[in-house]
């Protein structure tokens, strides 16, 4: 919804179904006199001031779980497409540039038996790790906490971010956007990565400093990037990153399968209906609103 229209309506509405492009900030919420529930059609909640919702005792629903596998599939698709240079090959064929088979045409890197670093071993990061075991990868992860039981079940090893960046052939970002993860990957971090490395982002665009990434891709500081998410979104077609052959960008399609979007929609509607009926939301991101104190 257009932000001006939402601001004009917010005082009247009792339930709000929103998603990633909608900015739900404190100023808007303070005018929401009748609002009893917010239901976000996504798992990530960085477009919304969750602390303000909790203070105002507005329960917020979201869609965890149902999109995990589809989003993990997207991460693998991006990584493989990027390391094996599939978009460049596709463009060559489409543009009539494919003249003959050649032993050095569009050589890429291998995913199998490589070392992959996963930044954020939550639901989606863990699902990515499970898939990469099938490619015989050595798996590293980082995050705010070590996850000892996951280390055993998924065969992943914990490293601090700088060590992971130095060691990994491919790095996948699957961490939520919070103040502490904003521009987690900037100039200093990109310098630590291998010149042959791939950077994949299936989380949120602002995890990466886009200018620093464009410079790193232009100078060969890293080999390639594959982004499902960008900063800004949508990214303009004349953005430096869009114009680079070694940067694959798709328009935030992580969970975009028919079945998953249907499951997300159902979950979002269930959350909304529960909130309007005065019931506890089935998937509530701020359950503290139900504390009696
Ligand atoms: C989410 O749910 O946060 C995803 O980014 C949507 O695809």
Q: What CATH number did the domain enclosing 34 receive?
A: 3.40.50.720
Do 81 and 225 belong to one domain?
yes
Asked if 252 is an active-site residue, the reply is: yes
Q: Which residue from 42, 228, 260 has its CB within 8 A of the most atoms of ligand 1, so it is best to mutate?
A: 42
Residue 293 predicted with pLDDT over 70: no
Do 45 and 103 belong to one domain?
no
Q: Whose CA is nearest to atom 3 of ligand 1?
A: 44
Predicted local confidence at residue 171, as pLDDT: 99
* pLDDT tens, residue by residue, 144-186: 999 999 999 999 999 999 999 999 999 999 999 999 999 999 9
Do 151 and 279 belong to one domain?
no
- State whether the beta carbon of 125 lies less than 6 angstroms from ligand 1: no
pTM: 0.97
Residue 95 predicted with pLDDT over 90: yes
Do 236 and 115 belong to one domain?
yes
Do 240 and 263 belong to one domain?
no
Question: Token pair for residue 139?
Answer: 């798996």
Averaged pLDDT, 70-83:
98
Q: Whose CA is nearest to atom 7 of ligand 1?
A: 255
* pLDDT tens, residue by residue, 24-36: 999 999 999 999 9
Calpha distance 88→237 (Å, rounded)? 17
Do 27 and 74 belong to one domain?
no
Domains held by the chain: number = 2
Pairing of strands 198-201, 138-142: unpaired
Non-local CB neighbours of 290 within 8 Å, separated by 6+ positions:
59, 280, 284
Residue 41 predicted with pLDDT over 90: yes
* pLDDT tens, residue by residue, 97-139: 999 999 999 999 999 999 999 999 999 999 999 999 999 999 9
- State whether the beta carbon of 283 lies less than 6 angstroms from ligand 1: no
- State whether the beta carbon of 44 lies less than 6 angstroms from ligand 1: yes
The pLDDT mean for the chain works out to 97
Do 32 and 74 belong to one domain?
no
State the alpha helices, DSSP H only, in 41-154.
50-55, 68-83, 86-94, 123-133, 148-154
Question: Token pair for residue 208?
Answer: 């990466």
Helix (H, G, I), strand (E, B) or coil at 63: coil
Calpha distance 175→190 (Å, rounded)? 17
Confidence of residue 1 (pLDDT cuts 50, 70, 90): confident
Whether the Cβ atoms of residue 282 and residue 61 lie closer than 8 Å to each other: yes
Do 242 and 270 belong to one domain?
no
Predicted local confidence at residue 50, as pLDDT: 98
Do 28 and 121 belong to one domain?
no
Q: How far is the CA of 110 from the centre of ligand 1 (A)?
A: 28
- State whether the beta carbon of 68 lies less than 6 angstroms from ligand 1: no
Do 111 and 218 belong to one domain?
yes
Predicted local confidence at residue 8, as pLDDT: 96
Q: How far is the CA of 250 from the centre of ligand 1 (A)?
A: 14
- Catalytic residue from among 112, 113, 170, 252: 252
Predicted local confidence at residue 93, as pLDDT: 98
Do 121 and 40 belong to one domain?
no
Provide the domain limits for residue 213. 68-249
Do 211 and 280 belong to one domain?
no
- State whether the beta carbon of 43 lies less than 6 angstroms from ligand 1: yes
Predicted local confidence at residue 147, as pLDDT: 97
Q: Whose CA is nearest to atom 4 of ligand 1?
A: 42
Averaged pLDDT, 229-249:
98
């Amino acid at each position: 919804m257009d932000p001006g229209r939402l601001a004009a309506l917010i005082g009247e509405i009792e339930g709000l179904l929103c998603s990633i492009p909608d900015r739900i900030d404190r100023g808007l919420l303070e005018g929401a006199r009748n609002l009893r529930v917010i239901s976000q059609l996504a798992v990530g909640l960085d477009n919304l001031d969750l602390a303000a919702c909790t203070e105002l005792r507005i329960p917020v629903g979201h869609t965890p779980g149902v999109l995990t596998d589809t989003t993990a599939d997207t991460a693998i698709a991006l990584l493989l497409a990027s390391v094996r240079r599939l978009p460049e090959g596709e463009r060559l064929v489409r543009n009539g540039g494919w003249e003959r088979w050649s032993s050095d045409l569009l050589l890429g890197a291998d995913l199998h038996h490589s070392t992959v670093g996963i930044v954020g071993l939550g639901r989606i990061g863990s699902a990515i790790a499970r898939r990469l075991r099938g490619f015989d990868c050595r798996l590293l992860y980082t995050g705010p906490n070590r996850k000892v039981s996951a280390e055993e079940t998924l065969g992943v090893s914990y490293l601090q971010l700088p060590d992971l960046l130095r060691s990994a052939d491919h790095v996948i970002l699957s961490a939520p956007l919070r103040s502490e993860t904003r521009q987690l990957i900037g100039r200093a971090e990109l310098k630590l990565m291998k010149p042959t490395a791939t950077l994949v982002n299936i989380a949120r665009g602002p995890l990466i400093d886009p200018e620093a990434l464009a410079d790193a891709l232009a100078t060969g500081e890293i080999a390639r990037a594959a982004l499902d998410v960008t900063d800004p979104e949508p990214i303009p077609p004349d953005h430096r990153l869009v114009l680079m052959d070694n940067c694959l960008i798709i328009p935030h399609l992580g969970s975009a399968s028919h079945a998953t979007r249907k499951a997300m929609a159902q979950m979002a509607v269930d959350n909304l209906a529960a909130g309007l009926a005065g019931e506890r939301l089935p998937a509530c991101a701020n359950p503290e609103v139900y504390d009696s104190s």
